[in-house]
Amino acid sequence: VGEKGSHIDLSKMEEVKLFGTCLSPYSYRVIWALKLKGIPYEYIEEDLSNKSPSLLQYNPVHKKIPVFVHGGKPICESLVILEYIEETWPENPLLPSDPHDKAIARFWAKFVDDKGPIIWTMVRTTGEEQEKAKKDTLEMLRTIEEHALVEKKFFCGERIGITDFAFIGVAYWLEAIEDILGLKLLEEDSFPRLHAWIKHFKQEPIIRENLPNREELFAFLKRRREKLLASPLSLTAG
Amino acid sequence: CWISGQALLGSSRIIFSVLIKNLRERDLQTVRQMEDNVVLLDFWPSSFGMRVRIALAEKGIKYESHEENLLDKSPLLVEMNPVHKLIPVLIHNGKPICESLIILQYIDEVWHDKSPLLPSDPCKRSQARFWADYIDKKIYSIGKRVMMGKGEEQEVAKKELIECLKTLEGELGDKLYFGGETIGLVDVALVPFYTWFYSYETCGNFSIEAECPKLVAWAKRCMERETISKSLPDPHKIYSFVLQLKQKLGK
């Protein structure tokens, strides 16, 4: 093992695997973190209708993706995974170093995690239920517009970070959802800061080069909506 | 209440400035720590508020507690947590931190020299965060359904609660605490719900200790620590509060 320093380097070099699904925003959060930090990894695509024994072994509690495995040890829940990646590979930081700024970044990441899934409710409902989901989505967007992005390029400041990754999962997927439902919720006039932020994240090479194909996502969401309206199953994963 | 609170803070600052001028250099270090102004916006039966009380006690941090009336929220609460308008809110030198688990991690990072809540190993830290997140996702909402629900709905909620507590019992294993030899993030996140067990049991007519004896033994072990026992209200007081709430909601 040798000196403490070289032991940490060795452990960083241990095999990294990511179990995910190609159209899940939660998988992408982890992919962006790994790409930004230049961490090589093996990606395993899961079929959620037929979960692999590995997935069930690594995440017996939730049985969900993404699951991150480093040197054989699994870590589950995307925000927990992101914090682990940040602590193990501190280069190209995804969180501010100041404890208060870090707390703000975590606050907004949690906010997105708690409120974000409402966009999927719009996909799997109709009528009054869907109208409520639209209203809740607008309220979430308004809160972020008014409180989270004041005078900042990204959620954590000048650099893209964990909170942006969490929210890209809402913004990009929301664009596809708006397409299939024939809606426009994220209007530029009503949400100028959000629109500026969307422009910035789409210019980041790591994000631009690692987003799901729009047509594929559109087709997937359209199929899921048709299937879900026929039976009440949840769309979310991870 | 807010205005007099602000005046009190203002005059405290003046007093501190006078003290500093009259103290010798080696006393300045102590005074600077005293200058750390820590305020907790809290509500006595809140499990989430209890978590922060425990963490502050474990770290020996002196703070001012403001009891909030959640039916008539103070301007300070609305200013410090405009997004959710919920407690707990920790205000450190005027800057607010919201969400109890985020507050715990903030406290651990700022006051890192005493009683660490998280281990240093990233893998063990991620395990602690995973289980704290699990507790957050499950216990409060299922517990609420046990207390407020009736008939089949209540039976389903009881079964889910026992399942969760058994899962947590499995994670505890043979350890003294979830944190190992000493309490950690998961212990602090979970033990406040122990004060609510009596309410869950009485409303649901079942015994948590009968189903999860190891977990209750762990909770009792935690309660032997003054930092925890002094931070948690009497379970019977919690139950009176629950009965009042049920009456108000017509349940």
Is residue A4 assigned to a domain? no
One domain, residues A83 and A186: no
Q: Are A108 and A82 part of one and the same domain?
A: no
Residues A79 and A180 in one domain: no
Residue A113 within a domain: yes
A84 and A105 within one domain: no
Considering only CB atoms, which chain A residues are within 8 Å of B134? 61
Residue A73: strand, helix, or coil: strand
A59: left (phi over 0), alpha (psi -120 to 50) or beta: beta
Burial (CB < 10 A; 0-12, 13-18, 19+), residue A195, is middle
Count the domains in chain A.
2
What is the arrangement of strands in the sheet containing A16-20, beginning at the earlier edge strand? Answer: A42-45, A16-20, A67-70, A73-76
CATH number at residue A17: 3.40.30.10
What size, in residues, is chain A? Answer: 238
| Burial (CB count <10 Å: 0-12, 13-18, 19+), residue A191 | buried
Q: How far is B106 from chain A (nearest CA, A)?
A: 6
For A3-12, what is each residue's pLDDT tens digit? Answer: 444 444 566 7
Residue B26 — very low, low, confident or very high, per pLDDT cuts 50/70/90?
A: very low
Distance CA A115, CA A113 (A): 6
**A179 pLDDT higher than 50:** yes
Note down the domain range covering A150. Answer: 99-230
Instruction: Determine contact: B106 vs chain A, CB below 8 A.
Output: yes
Distance CA B106, CA B124 (A): 18
pLDDT digits (tens, 9 = 90+) for A131-178: 999 999 999 999 999 999 878 889 988 899 999 999 998 899 999 999
Tell me what the mean pLDDT of segment A70-78 comes to: 96
In this prediction, residue B19 has a pLDDT band, given cuts at 50, 70 and 90, of: low
**Shared domain check, A204 and A136:** yes
CA B150 to chain centre: 28
- Is A18 contained in some domain? yes
pLDDT tens sequence across B134-149:
999 999 999 999 999 9
Please tell me the predicted confidence (pLDDT) of residue B29: 46
Is A61–B102 a contact, with Cβ atoms under 8 angstroms apart?
no
Instruction: Give residue A4's pLDDT.
Output: 41
A235 in a structural domain: no
Cβ contacts of residue A231 below 8 Å, gap of 6+? Answer: none
**Do A126 and A167 belong to one domain?**
yes
A182 shares its domain with A113: yes
**pTM recorded for the entire structure:** 0.89
Task: Assess if residue A192 is contained within a domain.
Answer: yes
B19: its two tokens: 């003290």
Euclidean distance between the first and the last CA atom of chain A, given in angstroms as a whole number: 35
In a domain, A16, yes or no: yes
Query: Are both A17 and A57 inside the same structural domain?
Result: yes
In a domain, residue A75? The reply is yes
Which residue does chain B place closest to A75, by CA atoms?
Answer: B126
Last residue of a domain, one of A27, A58, A88: A88
**Closest chain A residue to B82, measured at CA:** A147
Of A67, A88, A109, which one is at a domain's C-terminal end?
A88
Among A88, A111, A129, the domain-final residue is A88
Q: What is the structure's pLDDT at B94?
A: 95
Window from A15-19, A186-190, B30-34, B214-218 with minimum mean pLDDT: B30-34
Same domain as A196, residue A126: yes
**A64 touches B at CB < 8 Å:** no
Q: What ipTM describes this predicted complex?
A: 0.91
Class of domain B122-249: mainly alpha
